[in-house]
A and B are shown apart, each in its own frame.
Chain A
Amino acid sequence: MRPLVAQLRAEVTMIVTNGETVFLTLGIPVVFLLFFSAVHVLPTGTKHPVDFLVPGILALAIMSTAMTALGIGTGFERGYGVLKRLGATPLGRPRLLAAKIMSVIAIELVQAAVLVAVGYALGWTPGGPGGAGVLVGSAIGAMVLGTVAFGGVGLILAGTLKPLVNLAVVNGLFVVLLLLGGMLIPLGKLPGWLEGIAKVLPASALADALHGTLGHGTAVTARDWMVLVVWAVAAPIVAGLTFRWE
């Protein structure tokens, strides 16, 4: 327990003391939420953009932590030889991985609390104006799968690319998935061929699941579950197979 607790504390310390990570995981989502609620430039198709924005930005927040922050941090640790050095300590890979997962979940809980609070302050009505039920359990399930899927994607890149290349690719992917993931821009606004690609990405499945459960009060579609499960299984497996510790 002692090594795991110490490692978890170190992981969280490094995240919260790193300005870029805090900006990425909290600054960007909160600023997007405030800005696009006030400035109605996004084609959200609703009179209350905040109802569309809160679920979408929750999906964005999960992607920023599980894929981007985890991927960039792990990539640099690999580049600095930290992962190699830890391999010669009794910490062990399972505890290192557990500490990373727990730190990601801890950050996500903070993100969710902040975004929901800001959302309510901006007049967010969960379940939409119609007042349909909120499917919190399904939403949490989708977020867990999304976390695993994005974490796997982040670690695939972190475990194979050089740190600076990894930094660029992870950030680029973040922007691409942000635009194609239906988080800010509904998928229906994309050209048909692009929409087809977007629909099989974990970003759009998670955003769609959260828009449904937290926005419209509708259940997660079978298609979204399937896309999330496939990514949540495949990405960590590929990461496990391709990850180079040095």
Chain B
Amino acid sequence: MNDVTTPTGSASAPGDSPTVVCDRVVIRYGDTLAVDRLSFTARAGEVLALLGPNGAGKTSTVEVLEGYRRVDSGSVRVLGLDPRDDHAVLVPAIGVMLQKGGVYPMLGPAQVLDLFSRYYDDPEDPAALLDQVGLGPVRRTPWRRLSGGEQQRLSLALALVGRPRVLFLDEPTAGVDPEGRIVVRDIIATQRDRGVCVILTTHELAEAERLADQVVIIDHGRTLAEGSPAELASGTADGSVRFTTDAGIDTAALAVAVGPGATLVEERPGAYRLQPPPGAASPAVVAALAGWLAERNLALGDLRTGQSLEEAYLAITGSRGEPEPTGPDGEADAEAEPGGGRRARRTRRARGARRARGARGARS
């Protein structure tokens, strides 16, 4: 049972024991509490993202799972083993991508990948893997002369070369250019489809939303929320409905039409936010809205209920949830402009105002 390298568990059906378990984990640095009773589980074929601002305790948590440090209390299990006590047994079955560094600076990708492949019994073909992460053209360039994105992709390849069953990726897309991000996302999706359990950290909402099946939002070492991106977004929804139509409509009249207690604000010319009466069901609200507009022959556009994970994240982390500077990643605009174009691509089903409250700043 100790031979974790056999791939028998990779086809585990739902209901099997979880691949990664974090149970009320506490990590301290002197007097500082870095991680405070953090719990989550992840299964084979699942991508779990630890999402939170810098200093939230993400890296500490991952390093415990990788076996780099001990918990001060609580327990962790990876493939049913203790990452520290069973390190030698476990290590062939895990792939690790550190937040930065970790590679001999004077060696090129081909040399490093070949070296790492020889640590494992049944490695991936280094040359094929190098092409897969798009480093073929720079295979002989010393690591220190690679761009930040190339260094990240090499780190990812090094994490994959031993055919791991569990992948720990600390900020896998940080500093990676948009094209590189597509490569990284594709690889993570492929690994998940092969039954690999992927634990990754990110401070970027867009990445968590795109990559993860399960998101754990943490701040100050505590779980603030967890669930699928859709669950998280709807779980904190205030039930508001956003839509566009002609500018300058009679907002008071429309609010009355929707029901007593409804409020309607024109946020920008032609863009409205409707706060339905407490307890009102979304379909009824939307029907009332659509009917009122139809009577006046007004077009209804860009109708959305619920909110994106981005809004949920900001609502949950409050004032500290300021997006980090994202660096030269080409996606900063999506974060710098909450409610920008990206948001419009999805229409969510609001799950009712489960936590009826003003979303923004609720925790600050």
Contacts and interface: CB of A to CB of B under 8 A. Distances in A.
Interface of A: 2-3, 5-7, 10, 13-14, 17-18, 76-77, 80-82, 84-85, 87-92, 246
A91 B107 contact: no
B56 interface: no
A81 B111 CA distance: 17
A82 to B, nearest CB: 6
Contacts of A2: 118
7 contacts: A6-B118, A85-B102, A88-B67, A88-B68, A90-B91, A90-B120, A90-B162
B115 A6 contact: yes
B103 interface: yes
A14 B104 contact: yes
Contacts of A5: 118
Contact of A17 (B68, B88, B106): B106
Nearest to A246: B68
Interface in B67-103: 67-68, 88, 91-92, 94, 96, 98, 100-103
A90 B92 contact: yes
A116 B98 CA distance: 46
Contacts of A17: 106
B88 A92 contact: yes
B106 A7 contact: no
Contacts of B120: 89-90
Contacts of A246: 68
A90 B98 contact: no
Nearest to B102: A85
Interface string B48-69: 0000000000000000001110
A81 B102 contact: yes
A88 B94 contact: yes
Interface in B109-161: 111, 114-116, 118-120, 158
Given A89-B116, A89-B162, A82 B103 contact: yes
Given A2-B118, A6-B118, A89-B116, A80 B91 contact: no
Contacts of A13: 107, 111
Contacts of A7: 115
B105 interface: yes
Ranked nearest first, the 7 interchain pairs of A and B with the lowest CB-CB distance are A85-B102, A81-B101, A6-B118, A88-B96, A81-B102, A89-B119, A90-B92
A5 B114 CA distance: 12
Contact of A88 (B91, B114, B115): B91
Contacts of B111: 10, 13
Nearest to A88: B96
Chain B interface size, as a band, is 20 to 34
A89 B91 contact: yes
Contacts of B94: 88
A89 B113 CA distance: 12
Nearest to B161: A89
A76 B105 contact: yes
Interface string B153-186: 0000010001000000000000000000000000
B116 A82 contact: no
Contacts of A18: 106
A146 B189 CA distance: 53
A17 B111 CA distance: 13
A12 to B, nearest CB: 12
B106 A14 contact: yes
Contact of A14 (B67, B68, B107): B107
B92 to A, nearest CB: 5
Contacts of B103: 80-82, 85
Which of A3, A7, A85: most chain B Cβ within 10 A?
Answer: A85
A200 to B, nearest CB: 37
A27 to B, nearest CB: 18
A84 B114 CA distance: 19
Contacts of B98: 81, 84-85
A85 B115 contact: no
Contact of A82 (B66, B91, B102): B102
B104 A82 contact: yes
A206 to B, nearest CB: 30
A133 B66 CA distance: 58
A88 B118 CA distance: 14
A2 B106 CA distance: 22
Given A10-B111, A85-B96, A90 B102 contact: no
Contact of A84 (B102, B107, B118, B162): B102
A246 to B, nearest CB: 8
A35 to B, nearest CB: 30
A154 B162 CA distance: 32
B118 A87 contact: no
B104 to A, nearest CB: 6
Interface string B308-329: 0000000000000000000000
Contacts of B91: 88-90
A80 B101 contact: yes
Given A6-B119, A82-B104, 19 more contacts: A2-B118, A3-B118, A6-B114, A10-B107, A10-B115, A13-B107, A13-B111, A14-B107, A77-B104, A81-B102, A82-B101, A82-B103, A84-B102, A85-B96, A85-B103, A85-B158, A88-B67, A88-B96, A91-B119
A2 B123 CA distance: 12
A24 to B, nearest CB: 15
A5 B119 CA distance: 10
Contacts of B116: 89
A85 B103 CA distance: 8
Nearest to A18: B106
